[in-house]
Amino acid sequence: MSNANHPAFDKATKAGFIIALGIVYGDIGTSPLYTMQSLVENQGGISQVSEAFIIGSVSLIFWTLTLITSIKYVWIALKADNHHEGGIFSLYTLVRKMSRWLIVPAMIGGATLLSDGALTPAVTVTSAIEGLKAVPGINYIYENQTNVIITTLMILLILFSIQRFGTSLIGKLFGPVMLFWFGFLGLSGLFNSMDHLAIFKAINPYYAIHLLISPENHRGIFILGSIFLATTGAEALYSDLGHVGRGNIYMSWPFVKICIFLSYCGQGAWILANKNSGTELNPFFASIPENLRVYAVILATLAAIIASQALITGSFTLVAEAMRLKLFPLFRVTYPGQNLGQLYIPVINWMLFVITSCTVLYFQSSEHMEAAYGLAITITMLMTTILLNYFLIKKGMRSILAHIVMAFFALIEFVFFWASAVKFLHGGYVVVIIALTILSLMFIWHKGTKIVFKYVKSLNLLDYRQQIKALRDDTSIDLYQTNVVYLTNRVQGNMIDKSILYSILDKRPKRAKVYWFVNVKVTDEPYTAKYKVDMMGTDYMVKVELHLGFRMPQTVPRYLRTIVQDLMESGRLPKQVQEYSISPGREVGDFRFVIIEERVSQARQLTGFERFIMQTKASIKHFTATPSRWFGLQYSEVKVEFVPLILSDILKLPIKEIVPVSDEN
């Protein structure tokens, strides 16, 4: 059953609690691996920290988790579900009718979220493997960073390679492993905190504010760039809403937050107790007793893999939603699992692997990766805040109050962005370049679609009904196919793309018994599967609106077979008895799908910029899924016809005949 119809979406269960731990909190749950390490290193090392610095840092982490994750995302954003689906594109579909410009924050947020997702596996897995430096007996092997890199790349290769088989089997282990992980974080943190109980003063926001203005803080407000690492998984939490339900997140988040907070307290207490030891080990692993460190590394590695898996599948979902919203090129999508929520996009999978691996090779260590991590996600959060502002207004909140509430979060996130902007020169430019590349791709695809709609001319189907009937009855022309199906998204009432009628009547008269004009409309609901037909007063012309949810596969032939049978059973469509068939009594004829693809010619109507957009889009199409594969036509008869974007281009151009000169003179 889809989440859209699930009666228990707002209910919490014990099983849902475990599942939520495995799916939702991978990113935010592995932040203790590197956040405190980043804070200490940016302060100048463990010997340079003071009690005020550590308590203030933990206080900043606690209140960041409270304001951003707990209030903005868990309390507010989770209410912005699009038929029980979350994420920035689902949020956009809820508010896109309120203003056309909202496509901008949606595209920017989606691009930055994808770019940051490519960095997360690199950071988490590398941080976990670096923990082996603190394990007696094998630490000498991993003192050489090259061995850390090789091990990390091997784990990433295995992780990305198994995506094509689906993750339902290992996915069952995610919840129990993460339950054990959070329990380990909480208990180890509580145990270490006993050595310095003053660390719990961090709950008081005074210490957070005091640290920002204290001279003991060597980085000033830019310390927030490291603090922000603790809450980077908040956006992923919202995106995974549809997988686990709102009730299970409400129930599990307090447990997760307490465990994470205890881990930071424990690390802080250990640092204060050992700041004169001269150790440069990661505080997370160093605070674990030596005889338990190898188990801590194994558990941290499993948690890092689970966090990476969540980001990978989240990227697949994000791209799939962008494709159906026509914001992204069409790539082949498969469904290796038992449900639609588990999908696999080969091109995206291996692009993520290449980017993640190159990130590991380029930055070499988690310390350097942390310098770049988090910059892009601050932009995503700001874009989500903009969209949430419109959502609150749509839900009835007074505009001035909605602006005040969201301005509060926007101010906090802008400060985090400003603090993280210093990371640009220290590696942040890598994720910015990736984000800009993705954003450019989205812009070209979206703009190209608008250009086509601008120039394509439409004709009234009813005006050509008699010509089509005459062609259908003209036995002097060979039967092209029993059913000819045109797939188009350019249908408005009885008006249809001129190039389709040109294909039927002019390019090569296509005689058929029934002409189908199918328009696939992606709905804001994730799991819709409905259709609407208009026979246009005939029994040989069928206009179909196929309404599919943005999470539904667009396998048109399978839906069309059902529609044909429905129309025949209701008597609206004559039965198409087949004389020759291996299926006795077959009453549905054969189909041929015709796909019209526009090509840019040297049309004078196009501006230089428009021509550049269309030509670039055509170049990108060489690497994308064909319409045949996207619409599930691999096993159907398909004809792809190419026509100029502007049909007037096929008319005569000015040219003069060379007249021979007479030789009589």
User: Encoding tokens for residue 414?
Assistant: 């802008």
The 10 Å Cβ neighbour count of residue 13 is 14
Residue with tokens 């703009």, as numbered in its chain: 447
Report the 3 state secondary structure along 274-298.
Answer: HCCCCCCCCHHHHCCCHHHHHHHHH
Strands (E), 524-585: 529-534, 541-549
State residue 184's pLDDT score: 93
State residue 615's pLDDT score: 79
State residue 181's pLDDT score: 92
User: Encoding tokens for residue 560?
Assistant: 């069309």
Distances (CA, A) of 619 to 97, 299, 355, 622: 31, 45, 22, 6
The 10 Å Cβ neighbour count of residue 380 is 26
Q: Beta strands 591-599 and 637-644: pairing type?
A: parallel
The answer to which of 55-59, 144-148, 621-625, 652-656 has the lowest mean pLDDT is 652-656
Is pLDDT above 90 for 183? yes
For residue 459, the SS3 value is strand
Distances (CA, A) of 319 to 111, 178, 648: 10, 26, 36
Q: What distance, in Å, lies between the first and last C-alpha atoms of the chain? A: 92
State residue 258's pLDDT score: 95
547 close to 533: Cβ distance less than 8 angstroms = no
State residue 95's pLDDT score: 87
405 close to 392: Cβ distance less than 8 angstroms = yes
Q: Name the most confidently modeled range: 72-86, 126-140, 401-415, 628-642.
A: 401-415
State residue 342's pLDDT score: 62
Q: Name the most confidently modeled range: 136-140, 216-220, 371-375, 431-435.
A: 431-435
Is pLDDT above 80 for 530? yes
Assign 217 a pLDDT band (cuts: 50, 70, 90): confident
Radius of gyration for the alpha carbons in the chain, expressed in angstroms and rounded = 30
The 10 Å Cβ neighbour count of residue 430 is 23
Residues 534-585: pLDDT tens digits?
Answer: 888 888 888 888 888 766 777 788 888 888 888 888 888 888 777 777 777 7
Across the beta sheet with 529-534, the strand order is 529-534, 541-549, 511-523, 479-487, 591-599, 637-644
Q: How far apart are CA 247 and CA 537, in angstroms?
A: 50
φ, ψ for residue 454, nearest 5 deg = -70, -40
* Mean per-residue pLDDT over the chain, rounded: 82
Q: How far apart are CA 432 and CA 438, in angstroms?
A: 10
Bigger pLDDT: 10 vs 396: 396
**Going by C-beta distance under 8 Å and a sequence separation of 6 or more, which residues neighbour residue 617?**
444, 445, 448
Q: How far apart are CA 219 and CA 538, in angstroms?
A: 75
Bigger pLDDT: 2 vs 166: 166
**Going by C-beta distance under 8 Å and a sequence separation of 6 or more, which residues neighbour residue 35?**
61, 226, 227, 229, 230, 264
Averaged pLDDT, 241-265 = 88
The answer to which of 104-113, 200-209, 213-222 has the lowest mean pLDDT is 213-222
Assign 108 a pLDDT band (cuts: 50, 70, 90): very high
**Going by C-beta distance under 8 Å and a sequence separation of 6 or more, which residues neighbour residue 277?**
46
User: Encoding tokens for residue 496?
Assistant: 């249809």
Nearest of 98, 99, 101, 78 to residue 90 by alpha carbon = 78
Assign 60 a pLDDT band (cuts: 50, 70, 90): very high
285 close to 299: Cβ distance less than 8 angstroms = no
User: Encoding tokens for residue 203?
Assistant: 């709950």
Residues 420-468: pLDDT tens digits?
Answer: 887 777 777 888 888 899 999 889 888 888 887 777 778 888 888 899 9
Percent of residues in the chain assigned helix, strand, coil, to nearest 5: 65, 10, 25
User: Encoding tokens for residue 152?
Assistant: 């990390």
For residue 412, the SS3 value is helix
